Amino acid sequence: MAADGGSSSLQLPCVFSPKSRQYLALCAQDGRLRIWNTDSKTLHQEYVPSAHLSATCICISWGPCRTVKEGPQRKKRKSEAGQVEEKADLLAMGTAAGSVLIYSTAKGALHCTLDGGHSGGVNCVQWHPEDTLLYSGSDDTNIVEWDLQTGKARSKWKADRAAVTSLCVSPDGKLLLSAGQIIKMWDLDTKEVYRKFTGHSTAVTTLRFATTRPPDSNGLYFLSGAAHDRLLSVWQVREDGKDKNSVVSFTLTDEPQHIDLVTSNSKEEALRLAVVCKDGQLHLFEHFLNGPCKKPLSPSCTVQMSDTKDSPVPIPLLAAALGVDTRTVMLAYGNHLQPVMEKVEINTAERHICLTRDVQTSLSLSMETAVSKVKTPIVNTKSRVLVPGLPGHQAPVKGASQGSEKRKKDTDTKEMSIAERLGEIDLSSVSIEKGGPKGTASLQTDNFAVLLVQGLESSDASILNKVFQTRKEMVIKKTVARLPLPAVLPLVEEITKRLQGHPFTAVLMVRWLKAVLMHHTSYLASLPDLVTQLGVLYHMIESRVKMFHKLTKLHGKLYLLMTQVATSDSSNTVTDVDHTAKLVYEEESSEEDEASGDEGLPDDDSDNWEEEEAMEEEKEEKADEEEDDPESRTDSKANGEEDMEHGNESEEE
């Protein structure tokens, strides 16, 4: 069974060669292709693509095993040459530049380059069972069928609205599975969609056929895994077409990184599956595929690796290949630059197995035997080497005996210096220098996101304080949106810690928490142990909010009282003003009249008409006010009646 070819761009490709598992092909962080021999545990070949830094290798897929004749000419595999040993030879690599490189292990050189088919990065490459055809899927949403004899594209078709992230050809070579998020099954003769499946909510990174039966027998199954998805789904191709949803799912501890399986050829034969997750654990499954199964299936055996120190540190597994025997598994673990390969006998009766290995010693041994083009100069103890960047340019270099340890120390110090440098960045000054509001916003959020990740990883309070002090909603939202997913949980934990402190900091932290919930709810909801991780936060919010209902009730009552007091005060002031008359008309009459008139006169006697007009206007305004205020209206009525009585008296007299 050929090893997994379609590997997502998030992880570094690492694939065993088919059948004999003689080779392990890896593309490490430096963009070089390294092929390791699993028998001798040594580096077999190393190939540096011409554009290994700009056009990094995203995916690797081994071609079918074939007979390799002496000499450079390529010939098809012939059935009559069965007695000749078939070896894994060709290897296809998809690059970020959109080209596909074909490397030959027999020649130890590049076989050919397939260009011009894609305008975006190639995410997945898959071989047809006949080794002259190759399929590639890309970010440009197209699938290209390549003919290796001519080195040109035979056909090209649009597969999806989104990028094509995974491909798989059926064992009989008649069907092709492709996926962005929706999974489609294509008929390779007509290049038309044969079936559609719901797929996953995130980009599908793995597609594999699980059985070798024909599609019209209800016995054809395939499985799919996606980014940030902890379930591996199994789909059944049914005759009646009612196959939109998955029939079986396998539970994992993290997203699948490498899958190897032994297909089931009949109903009586179980599917054997080995899945290496992103967290470095290996899960083994064994299941008879026979229709739907409601409950997700747990692994029959989980394998972890750790070193032999007093406080053991886990060693990540990179890939696993199942042997012919049910107990033997070929493992690759450690570092992508220097993997350790080992055949292990696993007792599948145990649910959890932890293998301890001393990786340091095996690393140093293989480093000496491996082909290395870097030569370390022999330095005497007396001589000094001047290294730029250090104060005084003084750095005594030790002998070459401590190679690996020294490298590790260097990387540690570098990482520290980066964190320090990021911590010292004055964001405000940078933004002013750049000028222009658009540039500053993106620059700041970039810096904040990087700073926040650095602070969370190193749990540096000063860096975190610098980031959390920001009050701009936009900056907070953009920073949280740009956070990588593994940093979300540590951020939530940090926010929880700070929320428990002073209420002033809690006010700032609530903004961050709101932004996290807005952007990353889907990721948080996918975590199996979410309740325990967010329990503290939930209880704390509950206790803080417990009094809120009572406080709002009290606030409402107080508000009502205050408004009533205010209105009664205002009405009193209005009635006080209206007691004195603004204008009194005087007649020449007896002394009694004068006396009664004098009582009503204002303090200043003035016969100016202008003033009288102004007074009248004031009266009108008052009348308007009294119409608005019912209480004052009743008062004024009373006053009016009194005035009327005064008037009547004078008339009678």
For 3-34, give the DSSP string: PP----TTS--EEEPSTT--EEEEE-TTS-EE
Strand pairing of 352-356 and 301-306?
parallel
**pLDDT for the residue 526:** 86
| Phi, psi angle pair for 615, to nearest 5° | -60, -45
Question: Is-contact 450 422, C-beta < 8 A?
Answer: yes
**pLDDT for the residue 290:** 84
CA distances from 544 to 15, 144, 500, 538, 540 (A): 53, 59, 10, 10, 6
What is the edge-to-edge ordering of all strands in the sheet holding 33-37?
14-16, 23-27, 33-37, 42-47
Neighbours of 498 (CB within 10 A): 18
Cα atoms in the 13 Å half-sphere on the side-chain side of 214: 3
Residues forming a β-bridge with 221: 236
- Give the integer Cα–Cα distance in Å for 539 and 542: 5
- Give the integer Cα–Cα distance in Å for 26 and 341: 12
Question: What SS3 class is residue 159?
Answer: coil
Question: Is-contact 160 140, C-beta < 8 A?
Answer: no
**pLDDT for the residue 416:** 53
Per-residue model confidence as pLDDT tens digits over 416-436: 566 666 666 655 444 444 444
User: What pTM does this model have?
Assistant: 0.55
Neighbours of 277 (CB within 10 A): 21
**pLDDT for the residue 557:** 93
Tell me which residues of the chain have a pLDDT lower than 50: 1-10, 70-83, 364-370, 392-406, 408-415, 428-443, 597-598, 600, 602, 606, 630, 632-638, 640-644, 647, 649-653
**pLDDT for the residue 419:** 61
**pLDDT for the residue 521:** 87
Per-residue model confidence as pLDDT tens digits over 551-605: 999 999 999 999 999 998 887 765 555 667 778 888 776 555 555 544 545 455 5
**pLDDT for the residue 68:** 61
The number of helix segments (H) and strand segments (E) in the chain equals: 13, 28
Residue 47: partners with Cβ closer than 8 Å, 6 or more residues away: 32, 33, 34, 35, 103, 109, 110
Token pair of 492, please? 């939530």
The alpha carbon of residue 153 and the mean position of all alpha carbons in its chain are separated, in whole angstroms, by: 35
CA distances from 258 to 85, 206, 277 (A): 27, 8, 7
